Amino acid sequence: MLGVLLSAAAQLLIKYGVTGVEGQTGPLLRAALRWPLLAGAGCYLVAFALYIYILSVLDVSFASPVMVGGVTLLILLGGYFFGEPVGLIRVAGAALIVAGIVLISFSVE
């Protein structure tokens, strides 16, 4: 679960880091020098290390869908922090992802 939260935090930080960075002379370079992007990369690094550990103790068919579950969290947080649309279709899609994760978790022996 910590890996999912760190991955979601990484995506939010990176989005924040690149928001408003425009121009013709290297917007990527300017974004790379902002602390949110660097913090997001750090969160991804820690999440990746946790994922490696998780794969050493769990089946990949269980671990991977759980990590993807962070998408559902990002739908809500993207709406809250960045004003992104959170419509019925996105909520329904997130519900289907959660339902799939629940079904997969019941199949673990």
The pLDDT of residue 19 is 77
Please answer whether residues 12 and 71 qualify as being in contact, where contact means their C-beta atoms are separated by less than 8 angstroms: no
pLDDT tens per residue, range 26-35: 666 666 678 8
pLDDT tens per residue, range 71-99: 888 998 998 999 999 999 999 998 998 88
pTM of the model: 0.78
The pLDDT of residue 9 is 93
Nearest 10 degrees: Cα torsion 30, 31, 34, 35: -160
Please answer whether residues 90 and 75 qualify as being in contact, where contact means their C-beta atoms are separated by less than 8 angstroms: yes
Please answer whether residues 50 and 8 qualify as being in contact, where contact means their C-beta atoms are separated by less than 8 angstroms: no
Residues 6+ apart with CB under 8 A from 84: 78
The pLDDT of residue 39 is 94
Counting Cα atoms < 13 Å in the Cβ hemisphere of 73 gives 17
The pLDDT of residue 100 is 86
Q: How far apart are the first and last CA of the chain?
A: 20
pLDDT tens per residue, range 37-73: 889 999 999 999 998 999 899 888 778 777 777 888 8
